[in-house]
Amino acid sequence: MENTANLYIGLMSGTSLDGVDAALVEITPDAPPRLLATHAEPMPAALREALLILCHAESASFVELAAAEDAFCHLQARAVAALLVQQGIGADAISAVGSHGQTVEHAPNGHQGGPAYTLQLDNPSLLAELTGCCVVADFRRRDLAAGGQAAPLAPAFHRALFKSDTEERVILNLGGFANITWLSKQNDAPLGFDTGPANVLLDAWCQRHGHGNFDDNGAWAASGHVNELLLARLLSEPFFHQPPPRSTGRELFDLEWLKGHLSGEEQPADVQATLAELTAESVTQGVRQLLGERPLTLIIGGGGAHNAELCRRLASRLPTARLRTASDWGFPADWIEAGAFAWLAYRRLRNLPGNLPSVTGAAGERVLGGVYAP
């Protein structure tokens, strides 16, 4: 493979907890990042259950944290190894692995009067030992230290991939949570924030009612009817009315949060339809907050890009938007997040900033992450 000095691997495990995504990306200073290969390493059920418990635990032992972190690190190492074998290259061909880690709690505004924090389980020292690659990790806390939300971090990567001088573009990531990035056709600083839950509640409600791990193509949501009273209760959550910068996670939006808004008489399919409408409405509110009714191209990434029912709801609420997927730019929708952490690793090795203060609210641009030599 040519130009191996420009090869980076990005690792991402999101709120779905279904596995580790590994993206091999070629990055050079004079061209957009180019996705070369991918591998998805499934997460063992026992590890997923342990991580879910940690995400919702009021307290946890160091033994539990260490065991989950160790198992997660080995899962990451298997993902890297599989990608290298697939491509027939060695660890020495990789400039760096960018590891996001597994978020178990994100509290950029603190909790009960305490300091701001964001916690990602990761062990970059062990990952460097296991893979033989240079590892860049702990991207979020530098932005947090500068007064930022530490999320979302992908918007800087979005700018590198999707910036246009001829049209307004909004990048919508429909992962466990939804976030948007506005790339103005002018040279204005990008803006963006988390709009609220996306797949995290849709998937959890499916799993609770025996409809599989996710709502395939949104078919179950399409079979139900939106409960307007429930939707209004869900949208009354203060998060939806906070001005940016803002970010969120499982510590707020989970099944317990949803159950707190249910009367107990709703039909399960109607709840699923209402959750899809909640995602569509909260995204719409965010887009309109940034651009009003102006024409735009909405570029959708993340697993939700495959949910036809959710995309239909978005299209009906955003009539001035032209919907496209990230795949139209040669970067498949499922791999944007992993690609972003490959790109952030590249930025770190060159001592270039990786955050966007206009998005996170940090005091200024910062070089993100620590470097762990093999």
pLDDT tens-digit readout, 286-304: 999 999 999 999 999 999 9
Residue 338 near residue 21, CB atoms below 8 Å: yes
User: Does residue 349 share a domain with residue 232?
Assistant: no
Tell me what pLDDT residue 330 has.
87
Tell me what pLDDT residue 14 has.
80
User: Does residue 340 share a domain with residue 300?
Assistant: no
Tell me what pLDDT residue 136 has.
98
Phi, psi of 282 (to 5 degrees): -70, -35
Phi, psi of 257 (to 5 degrees): -60, -45
Residue 194 near residue 246, CB atoms below 8 Å: yes
Tell me what pLDDT residue 318 has.
97
User: Does residue 198 share a domain with residue 122?
Assistant: no
- Cα distances from 333 to residues 65, 182, 304, 345, in angstroms, run 31, 17, 9, 20
| Segment 238-281, tens digit of pLDDT | 999 999 999 999 989 999 999 999 999 999 999 999 999 999 99
User: Does residue 177 share a domain with residue 320?
Assistant: yes
Which residues, listed in sequence order, are joined to residue 131 by a DSSP beta bridge? none
How many domains does one find in the chain?
2
User: Does residue 347 share a domain with residue 300?
Assistant: no
User: Does residue 238 share a domain with residue 93?
Assistant: no
CATH number at residue 275: 3.30.420.40
pLDDT lower than 70: segments of the chain:
1-4
User: Does residue 144 share a domain with residue 95?
Assistant: yes
User: Does residue 163 share a domain with residue 145?
Assistant: no
User: Does residue 304 share a domain with residue 185?
Assistant: yes
Which two three-digit tokens encode residue 347?
Answer: 């930025």
Distance between CA 202 and CA 179 in Å, rounded?
16
User: Does residue 350 share a domain with residue 317?
Assistant: no
User: Does residue 267 share a domain with residue 191?
Assistant: yes
User: Does residue 347 share a domain with residue 293?
Assistant: no
Domain membership of residue 305 as a residue range:
155-329
